[in-house]
Structure formats: C-alpha cells, structure tokens
Amino acid sequence: MKHSKLIQGILLGLRHRRSKDAAVSIATLVVGAVALLGADYGIPIWLQVFLYLWLLTVGLPTTLTVLSLAAVWGRFEPFYGMNGFMVVSFLAAPVVQVLVMERLRRWRPGADSGGPTGKEPPASQGPVSSSVDAATPLKTSNREACMKTNRRNFLLGLGGGGAMLALGALRQQGPTELPTDVPLIDFHAHLFGVGDSDSGCFLHDKQRRHWTFDYLKRLLGLHEPERPGDESIDVQLVRRLVEHVGASSVDRIVLQAWDGRYTNGKLDLESTTSLYVPNRYMFKVVAQHPELFIPCASINPKRSDALEELEYCAEQGAPMVKIHPPTMDVDPSNPAFLPFYRLCRERNIILMVHTGMEHAADIVGLENCDPQKLVPALELGCTVVAAHVGYGQFYDREDFYPSFERLVQQYSNLYGDSSILGSMLRWRNIPRLLDHPLALSRMIFGTDYPFASNALVFWNRLSPATLLALCAERNLFERDLQLKRHLGFPASHFRLGAQLLGLTSKG
C-alpha cells in the first residue's frame, strides 16, 4: 500500500511541467553516465547515436550545465574533488533544466500579443455558453502550443548539438602517420595477477574491494573460476593481453612487473602491500611471447637485495626498471638510493618512475610523486622516464606537471610517457601537453593497459565519425593509439620508444 501511494505521488508530481523537466534532467545525467562508461568498455554505434541525440536535444540544458561545471572544476577553491563535482552537478543540472525550459515555453509566437497561445482568449470566440464549451478549445490550444514548443526545443537542441559536433570536426587534425621503419612500442603496459595460479602474484583484500578490481574484470571479460579445471584469472589476464596486442597496430609492449612494500628490507604482504607481481613471473610470461613483450622489472629500492635483484633482471634482459613511489612508500630523492641509480646507469637500464596522482591503488601519499624527486637520478646520468609526467585528474588539487616542464629544459636525459592521459577523468592533460613543444618532443607512447582511454571526453577535438568509431573500439591498445593519432601527437611520439630501446628495425 505504501509503495502504491508513493508511485501515485510520483506520477501526480510528474503531471507538473517543472517536475517533468527535473525528471528529464535526472534521466539525462543517467544517459551521460551510460555514454561515458560505454566509451570505456566499447559501445555500439547505434546506441551511441541514441544517447547523443538525447544529450544534445531534450537534455541539452543539463548537458551544458555539467560541461560548464567540469570546465571550472579543479581550477580554484573550493571546486575540488570528485564527490563534490557529482553532488553539485546533481543539484545544479535540474535547476538549470527547469529554468531553461520555462523560458522556452514563454518564448513562442503569440505569447505577448494574445491569440491562441497568449494570455487573453481570442476576441472572435464571442460569448461562452458553458464552462465545458470554453474548456475544450482552451485545452486544445494549450496542447497544440506544447507540441509546437517541444518541436521547437527539439530542433533548437539538435541545432546546438550539431554546432558542438561541428566544432570537433573543425578542430580535428588528420591522423598522424605511424612509423614503418621501426616497431611501434607501447612503453607502459601492466601485467597483473591475483595469485590463483603458481604465478606468485598477490592482491590484498582491500585492493579486491577497490573499484578498480571489478572495473577491470568487466573491462577484460574475466570470470572467477567456480569449478575445478576452470581457467584461473591469472591465465585469463595473460590470454586477454596476448589477444589484444596481437589484434592491434602495436607491434610490442613493455610489460611491467609490480614490486611491493618493504619493512626493514623485507617484503610485507600481510599488512602494507596492496598488489604484487614478481619479476620472475613477468620474465616467464615474456619468455612465452618474446615477439610481443619486452620485460620491465619492478624493484623497490628499499628492499635489502635491491642491487642483486637489479643485476638479476639485467642478466635476464630487462632494459627498464619501474619504481612506483606512492604504492611502494619510496622517496626517489633519498640519497640511500644513489647506488641503485648508479647501477642503472652502468647497466644501461632505463629508470621509469611513477609521477602524478594515483587513484587506482592504496597509497601512502602524494608527496613523492613530484618529478622534482627525480633530480638525483638525472644528475647521475640515468635515462629517466617520468610516467604520466606529473598529471592528475581534472578534479585533483595537486598538479606536478609544471615540474616536468621545467626539468626537461635542464636535463636532456628526462622523458615522459602518455600512458593513462587519454582516460575519462584526465581530459585536460593531452590538450595542455600539446601546447608545450619541448615537453611534447620528449613524450613516449604508452597506454597504461589495462586501463582504458575514453574518446567521448575529447568530443570537441574529434570529428563525429572518428568519435563514433573510437567509442565503439573494444581493443584497448588500438583505441588508445588511434585516439592519440587523431588528437595530434607528432610522429616522433610513436618512434621514441623504439629509439630508446635501441630497436632500429621491425625485424
């Protein structure tokens, strides 16, 4: 009984125009969320067209409100944080939708001069014989006026949406030509595992509860084994990785392990490490597909055997080592790590270090994510890659990119990579980077697989045809590559990885 009364109350409320407008706004927010998530997973073109028509016609006031909030969010106080952005969008969008639709209803022929849609009844109607006779033409005229208004609103929205899409078509450059004389290398891809095989991988329960775990399972189509003999998640991850690389335009990928957090020099899997992918497992996977994978070791320089592990990885053929300060609890500027950096230089091993925000794993803080922390390794002459070049998501308060831009002017041995920069919440990063030629010349192509790029957030820089195609693309390597080609990354961006690795030919 209570539920039926509630439903009746909602239906009664929706009879009012303002309630209908607010409901349309809420529906538009849902449609927008579906479109954004669909662009991550790969969404059919027919469904994209339906969703975009809604967003650009009946939901256009709400769409513009959210876009306007996103444009200012994260630029100054107090507009920071994802939760705040969602709350403000949810509150502001219905208000704007109602106000705009009210204004459009008043703006119609005859509203100011009388007539069938004005305030006064037509003079030609003459005396009214009864209330029923008077109500019938009034209801008819109101219904006709509403139909005309709805048609006008639809056409206005369609025109405004068309103008927005035309802006993207005008701003899009021709896709960058890919190198044909050297292999196309993805310089930043991850090997993950949960430890349900003999891989030695580890995933803490807290990381399993993190949003990224279910997100990546759905994104990659992974299934928890339910019966004996079912394929483990570890095996599924490698199989999916091989399938995606083989079906893409990328020739080879640099496949990274992931070291853990250490206490008194020893690996701590019980309380502090959130995820762990051992180097030996990474080398095993690389050995199975050497035509696709290039090994990248991961070593926490705080471990007691860091130098021995680095020597072992060099002997196994790893041309690069990765340090992830916020998950490993490492300060890259610590003088105690100088011997580690010297050995990297002596063995000609590229040093990659995570810089910028980290939202996908449990971290100790962000104070060690500034590229400025890389100066000791740069001073020793190491070839250093600042992964993500200090960038964050659009709502983040911290911004370490200016440090990278300053350091590339001082150190010719500093590079960056474009991994994760094309993702949903980092839409400010690439346009900003394209405006800095020197920094752009040091950028290496990378995807951060299995994390997905999202073409929809670059709607104003892509033609409609390109946008539809990229949002429908399900291969994560191919989507990221083609997105960056169409956004205007230069040809050097796709060659630099092979050059640093000394790969002079595709053979």
Q: How is 164-193 classified by DSSP, letter by letter?
A: HHHHHHHHPPPPPPPPSSS--EEEEEE---
Residues 492, 445: Cα–Cα separation, whole Å: 9
Q: Average pLDDT of 149-175?
A: 58
The total of other beta-carbon atoms located within 10 Å of residue 47's CB is 14
Q: Fold for domain 185-500? A: TIM Barrel (3.20.20)
The total of other beta-carbon atoms located within 10 Å of residue 176's CB is 17
pLDDT single digits (tens) 38-72: 999 999 999 999 999 999 999 999 999 999 999 99
Q: Mind giving me the DSSP string for 111-129? A: TTT-STTSSSPPGGG----
Which pLDDT score, from 0 to 100, does residue 216 have?
A: 95
Residues 297, 314: Cα–Cα separation, whole Å: 9
Which pLDDT score, from 0 to 100, does residue 114 have?
A: 44
pLDDT single digits (tens) 407-450: 999 999 999 999 999 999 999 999 999 999 999 999 999 999 99
Residues 485, 174: Cα–Cα separation, whole Å: 8
pLDDT-based confidence at residue 174 (cuts at 50, 70, 90):
confident
Single out the residue of 401, 353, 350, 411 nearest to residue 378, CA to CA. 411
| pLDDT surpasses 90 at 218 | yes
Extents of the domains making up the chain: 2-121+132-171, 185-500
pLDDT single digits (tens) 367-400: 999 999 999 999 999 999 999 999 999 999 999 9
Which pLDDT score, from 0 to 100, does residue 140 have?
A: 52
Q: Are 43 and 472 in contact (CB under 8 A)?
A: yes
pLDDT single digits (tens) 316-347: 999 999 999 999 999 999 999 999 999 999 99
Residues 167, 72: Cα–Cα separation, whole Å: 20
pLDDT single digits (tens) 238-291: 999 999 999 999 999 999 999 999 999 999 998 889 999 999 999 999 999 999
Residues 57, 349: Cα–Cα separation, whole Å: 54
Calculate what percentage of the chain has a pLDDT beyond 70: 84
